[in-house]
Amino acid sequence: MTAKYGFEDSGDEPLQDQPHSSHRILVVEDERDLRQITAEVLIDAGYHVDVAEDAAAAWHTLQLSKYDLLITNQFMPKVSGVELLKKIHAARLALPVIVDTGNLPTWEFTVHTWLKPVKMLLNPYSFEKLLDLVKQMLSTTASTAGNSPLPPLPPEPQLPRRTS
For the stretch 86-145, pLDDT in tens is: 898 888 888 999 988 766 666 666 776 666 667 888 888 899 999 999 999 998 876 554
Comparison of pLDDT for 30 and 148, the residue scoring more: 30
- DSSP for residue 142: H
* 8 Å CB contact between 74 and 106: no
Helix or strand (DSSP H, E) at 33: helix 32-44
Return the percentage of the chain with pLDDT > 70, whole number.
64
Q: How many beta carbons lie within 10 A of that of residue 107, not counting itself? A: 9
Q: Which fold has domain 2-143?
A: Rossmann fold (3.40.50)
* 8 Å CB contact between 149 and 94: yes
